Chain A
Amino acid sequence: MKLAAKLEELTKWYELKSETVKALRGVTFDVPEGDYVAIMGPSGSGKSTLLNLLGCLDRPTHGSLFLGDANIANMNDNQLSHTRATRIGFIFQSYNLIQQLTVVENIEVPLYYQGRLSKSDRERCHELAGMVGLGDRLKHRPAQLSGGQQQRVAIARSLVNDPYFVLADEPTGNLDTVTSEEILKLFESLNAMGKTIIMVTHENEIAAHAKRVIRLRDGLVQSDVRKTDRIILN
């Protein structure tokens, strides 16, 4: 099976003034294409660091992270930017839409930084907006949308560049239960369409929607459990 991401002994140290914080101390796992992974762990477990590395926002101190054939450990800043623009879809807790842009324009941003915005690209953005249920609000600005709607825009944006995986950081953290359920349903249907999703969360109910749960503790993988396994365990 093709891998969306492959982590090998991934290590990240932060040099502070007085000490070295070892946020990740050798994390190894694979994310096959089409997987739906929830990463969990208490604060300080290294899940934010892992998220930043998976999102190509940072480079590991040691070890390697392969996205496709490329090891991001060897990339320079521009290559990281290019990888983010072409191969990663971000979803944030606080949506992180650009306020002065409309719904469609927000969805277009990653394409803009790829240096392409053809007519077919634009049509694709419209389709994605329709897919997340915002086909009638293309010209709205983020401030005119509810939290759930904004998160839908973010989801559409994360899909526009056809990424290796969608990286969701507490995607329902700012939403009420009903809306959260809707967003999670959307994730499930995306996953059913073959999209790979990596989700960071600290809530068990949310993680329960994933096919696989990886728990971190003190910078190491504590457990890595598939849903099928869990059912068996129960």
Chain B
Amino acid sequence: MLWLRTWRLGIKSLLLHPMRTGLTVLGIFIGVASVIWLLAIGEGISQEAQRQIEGLGADNIMVRSIKPLNPPNASANAFILAYGLLREDYQQLTETIPTIKSALPIREMRRDVRYSDKKLDARVVGCTPEYADVTRLFMDRGHFITDAEVKQSQNHCVLAAKVVEHLFPYEDPLGRRIYVQDHNDYYRIVGVCRDRPPTAAIGGSLDAQDFSQDIYIPISTMRKRIGDTVVMRSGGSREGETVELNQITLRIDNIHNVVKTAALVEATLEKNHSKLQDTKVIVPLELLEQAKRIRMMLMVAFGLVAAISLVVGGIGIMNIMLATVTERTREIGIRRALGARRTDIVRQFLVETIAMSVLGGIIGVFFGLIFPPGFEALRDLVTKLSPETIAALPDVMRDGSPIIVPASIPLAFGISVVIGIMFGLYPAYRAAQMDPIEALRHE
């Protein structure tokens, strides 16, 4: 009963200055909400990254060709630069490392393709049948490249969904032939893939990949019909590069062997590539570990920022309470004269700060909870109003969603209460330490 009265009195006193109380509560509200928001953003980013890395397959190792930054023989006549993974590497890797279960060679290049009057700048990917499985590509109609097609180097191709949309708006593409311009060559369409979203870049070691304009052909066909050398003409000069393979994706028999195998792979590649530094081994498992570490760092960094805003809110509380205590000196004197102990005075003022911080905490938690849907609604709105703005945003902002960390809610709320108590104690103590005689005399 009496504590109820204490609370009622505290709230009554707070309501005497609704504006002042409101602003103080706002300070705590922002602190609590920002704890939840920032942690949710951090969690969203890291989960998105983790999802993408897991998409690469934790039991995979990727070896990619990298264009060397300083080609050694960049003289005038050597305009064709040869770099990257060799078929020899592929052979060596698969034959010498026993923990490699299977290996998938990939060669990609950009080519203009045509069907009747429609033209598209496509990414032609030479690959083997495992490609669909490893990159989680699903078929819509027809079939993916088969072993037989690879063996016989057939001029068959499989199209990504967007390519079909573009080249065959009204027709069934299966069985038709597309024309690859530079090589004066035709490919029969044997399959169409389901639409798949692009992957984002991961930590600088893997570029973002857009699969929407892919055309898949057997890698053997690519070698025979297109070759390894790509020549680009730009403003009178020619520039070219010879790349045998862009990527080899290795499947490891056991996830525990991934890191060991990666070291072996690097050692194997050393011989051919130590000079140019034109290959790179990407271990999704390591990236995953790294992503987990980054997640911790994000949490700590964001948590600190949010904690600062909570502390600022707490200082706001303290400021207001100090003013209130001075303003209510007379009341404190009266209460002391009427029998209030020092602890009663402490309790009275502490109740007010706790009430404010709890209220701020509740509002903060509420706004924290509606943040993810609110964020998405806002993004949809901006997408509708100005698509350019959205396009300019980084992938994470476009695709990721904030994910509320469940622990952040009791955490933020708890911290707000603790801050209410911490920053309320001093003003309350000051109030309690007043000499009742002096306080009664205060005007």
Residues of A within 8 A of B (CB): 52, 55, 57-58, 77-78, 81-82, 84-86, 90, 92, 96-101, 109-110, 112-115, 117, 157, 161
Contacts of A92 in B (CB 8 A): 440
Contact partner, B341, options A78, A86, A97, A110, Cβ 8 Å: A78
Contacts of A161 in B (CB 8 A): 339
Looking at the assembled complex, report how far the CB atom of A170 sits from the nearest CB atom of chain B, in whole angstroms. 13
In the A-B complex, the 10 residue pairs with the smallest Cβ-Cβ separation, listed nearest first, are: A85-B339, A113-B339, A81-B341, A84-B339, A96-B334, A110-B338, A113-B340, A109-B338, A78-B341, A57-B436
CB interface residues, B 324-349, toward A, < 8 Å: 330-331, 333-344
Residue in chain B with minimal CB distance to A169 = B440
Q: Is B16's CB under 8 angstroms from A100's CB? A: yes
Q: Is A112's CB under 8 angstroms from B5's CB? A: yes
Q: Is A57's CB under 8 angstroms from B1's CB? A: no
Contacts of A109 in B (CB 8 A): 335, 338
Residue in chain A with minimal CB distance to B436 = A57
Q: Is B339's CB under 8 angstroms from A86's CB? A: yes
Contact partner, B339, options A58, A110, A117, Cβ 8 Å: A110
Contact partner, A98, options B335, B336, B339, B440, Cβ 8 Å: B335
Contacts of A58 in B (CB 8 A): 437
Looking at the assembled complex, report how far the CB atom of A112 sits from the nearest CB atom of chain B, in whole angstroms. 7
Complex CA gap A57/B437 in Å reads 7
Contacts of A98 in B (CB 8 A): 331, 334-335
CB interface residues, B 318-370, toward A, < 8 Å: 330-331, 333-344
Complex CA gap A52/B340 in Å reads 16
**Contacts A77-B341, A82-B341; A115 near B437 (Cβ below 8 A):** no
Looking at the assembled complex, report how far the CB atom of B219 sits from the nearest CB atom of chain A, in whole angstroms. 84
CB interface residues, B 36-65, toward A, < 8 Å: none
**Contacts A96-B334, A100-B13; A115 near B341 (Cβ below 8 A):** no
Contacts of B136 in A (CB 8 A): none
Looking at the assembled complex, report how far the CB atom of A143 sits from the nearest CB atom of chain B, in whole angstroms. 12
Residue in chain B with minimal CB distance to A92 = B440
B2 CB within 8 Å of chain A: yes
**Contacts A110-B339, A113-B338; A100 near B436 (Cβ below 8 A):** no
Complex CA gap A81/B336 in Å reads 7
B20 CB within 8 Å of chain A: no
Q: Is A84's CB under 8 angstroms from B338's CB? A: yes
Complex CA gap A57/B333 in Å reads 10
Complex CA gap A90/B12 in Å reads 25
Q: Is B5's CB under 8 angstroms from A84's CB? A: no
Residue in chain A with minimal CB distance to B342 = A77
Complex CA gap A219/B229 in Å reads 113
Q: Is A157's CB under 8 angstroms from B341's CB? A: no
Residues of B within 8 A of A (CB): 1-2, 5, 9, 12-13, 16, 330-331, 333-344, 436-437, 440
Looking at the assembled complex, report how far the CB atom of A196 sits from the nearest CB atom of chain B, in whole angstroms. 18
Complex CA gap A101/B12 in Å reads 9
Tell me which of A82, A96, A97, A110 has the highest count of chain B C-beta atoms within 10 A of its own C-beta: A96
Q: Is B437's CB under 8 angstroms from A52's CB? A: yes
Contact partner, B1, options A85, A90, A114, A117, Cβ 8 Å: A117
Looking at the assembled complex, report how far the CB atom of A215 sits from the nearest CB atom of chain B, in whole angstroms. 23
Residue in chain B with minimal CB distance to A114 = B339
Looking at the assembled complex, report how far the CB atom of B208 sits from the nearest CB atom of chain A, in whole angstroms. 63
Complex CA gap A157/B337 in Å reads 12
Complex CA gap A140/B249 in Å reads 84
Contacts of A81 in B (CB 8 A): 336, 339-342, 344
Q: Is A90's CB under 8 angstroms from B337's CB? A: yes
Complex CA gap A90/B335 in Å reads 11
**Beyond A78-B342, A81-B340, A85-B338, 12 additional pairs, beta carbon < 8 A:** A77-B341, A78-B341, A81-B336, A82-B339, A84-B338, A100-B12, A110-B338, A112-B2, A112-B5, A113-B338, A113-B341, A117-B5
Contacts of B440 in A (CB 8 A): 57, 92, 96
Q: Is B337's CB under 8 angstroms from A115's CB? A: no
Q: Is B437's CB under 8 angstroms from A113's CB? A: no
Complex CA gap A229/B281 in Å reads 114
Contacts of B5 in A (CB 8 A): 112, 117
Residue in chain B with minimal CB distance to A108 = B5
Contacts of B334 in A (CB 8 A): 96-98
Contacts of A85 in B (CB 8 A): 338-340
Q: Is A113's CB under 8 angstroms from B337's CB? A: no
Complex CA gap A161/B339 in Å reads 10
Q: List 17 A-B contacts (CB under 8 A).
A: A52-B437, A57-B436, A58-B437, A77-B341, A81-B340, A84-B337, A84-B339, A90-B337, A96-B330, A96-B334, A96-B440, A101-B9, A110-B339, A112-B5, A113-B344, A115-B2, A117-B2
Q: Is A55's CB under 8 angstroms from B337's CB? A: yes
Contacts of B341 in A (CB 8 A): 77-78, 81-82, 113
Residue in chain A with minimal CB distance to B6 = A112
Contacts of B344 in A (CB 8 A): 81, 113
Contacts of A52 in B (CB 8 A): 437
Q: Is B337's CB under 8 angstroms from A57's CB? A: yes
